[in-house]
Amino acid sequence: MTTESDALDPLDTLAEGDPARGRREAGKAERRRAIIKAARELIRETGNPGLSMRGLAAKAGVSLATPYNLFGSKRAIVVAVLQDVREYHEHFNARRPADPIERIFVALDTAIEIYLADPLFYRTLWTAVFDASEGVRGEILGPKGDAFWTGVAEEAAAAGAFREGVGAVMLGQHLDFIRRSAMFEWAVGLIAPERVGATARLGYALILAGAVAEDRRGQLLDFVADAQAQLA
């Protein structure tokens, strides 16, 4: 799976060929980051994803026209906030284990820890996704949202962790379905915070127990037993 550090920064290419254009694009990228940061802070402060564009522009230190010029709409800004996963990648890469199956569980644990550490912000956003139109949900939960989770499944497949015939992409999508389901249940108050992680881990372990190669079944049964013990 390609990491952010592996990818060529397009701004570097632009700067080499056209320094002025490179500076303009860098400035736009910086303003986009400032707006996303301001949106996160406003959602956290108000518990409401219905952003005031005037308040957002003021908090980001940009003109009122800038959020519209860079994003087009409030909906697009909320989508961008949900898709801003830099914090997640930093946390995940800092603890990324070598074992491909453990890596899948660490990916899950890292996401849930970040959500639960900032409950007002993430509960607001997950509830907004739940209430959103089909088009907005599709933007957030579609192929872009699947890419990371199918990537860790593909890494495990490449390492020989799965038995023959298991499709890594479909498996990754189903694992992410479990993660999203657990977060929606938490967002609407049906799962207590202390049970979210074990609930999602049990779902992951049960699915993976049927997918892994025979020499890894014991590892997955241990995950099943641990999650069941936590829930009991």
Which residues constitute the domain of residue 21? 10-83
Per the document, the length of the chain is 232
Q: Is residue 2 in a domain?
A: no
Phi, psi of 212 (to 5 degrees): -80, 160
Radius of gyration of the chain (CA): 20
Boundary (domain end) residue, out of 20, 48, 83: 83
CA dihedral 126, 144, 8, 152 (to 10 degrees): 90
55 and 77 housed in the same domain = yes
78 and 101 housed in the same domain = no
Report helix, strand or coil for 212. strand
Q: Is residue 1 in a domain?
A: no
Report helix, strand or coil for 105. helix
pTM for this one? 0.75
155 and 213 housed in the same domain = yes
Nearest to 53 by CA among 44, 64, 40: 64
Where residue 137 sits, what CATH number does that domain have?
Answer: 1.10.357.10
66 and 105 housed in the same domain = no
Instruction: Give pLDDT < 70 ranges for the chain.
Output: 1-18, 128-146
Boundary (domain end) residue, out of 60, 83, 106: 83
Residue 15: its pLDDT value, please? 47
